[in-house]
Amino acid sequence: MSSSQQPDSRAQFDALVGQWTGTETIHPSPWGPGGPATGKWQIRRDGSGLHLILDYAEQRADGKSFDAHSVMAIDPESGDWLLFLFDSFGFPPLQPARGRWDGERLVLEKTTPRGVGQTIFEITTDGFAYSVASRSHDAMAFTAVMDGAYRKATG
């Protein structure tokens, strides 16, 4: 599918719905040291079926944790996917991350006073991959913050 084609939003939503567990690599960043982590996602549709509710919990090998609560929606005017994320760092979302699907990858970006953030969800044959990268306003390239691979939780 080319990036100009609109995906079937119901199918894309359904591909992410579920309870997921996975392993992660946290890269050293201004927010902390790197290292291994485990992540858990609970992703569901809201009552209207128009939004995804994403709850995320990360446990790092050093004992620290990170949590996030997000709402994902599709802008009915532009067709862009929107991600409003509230996390345990405490910075409120001044605007959503905004992006589109390109094949099996949803690439979202947002600009904040701290720089530009990029979030990627990629549907895989056995689950999904998730990555976060950032760059300062004066940098050209993104730097990896974290990468994870998730499979449906059993039980």
Q: What residue segments make up the domains of the chain, in order of their start? A: 9-152
| Topology of the domain covering 9-152 | Lipocalin (2.40.128)
> What percent of the chain has a predicted confidence (pLDDT) above 70?
94
Q: How far apart are CA 88 and CA 45, in angstroms?
A: 22
Lowest mean pLDDT among 7-11, 63-67, 130-134, 151-155: 7-11
* pLDDT for the residue 155: 64
Is residue 84 a contact partner of residue 98, using CB atoms and an 8 Å limit? no
Q: Is residue 60 scored above 70 in pLDDT?
A: yes
* pLDDT for the residue 49: 86
Q: What angle do CA 59, 30, 114 make, to 5 degrees?
A: 110
pLDDT band with cut points at 50, 70 and 90 for residue 43 = very high
| Mean pLDDT for all residues in the chain | 89
pLDDT in tens, 102-124: 999 999 999 988 899 999 999 99
CA-based Rg of the chain, rounded to a whole angstrom?
15
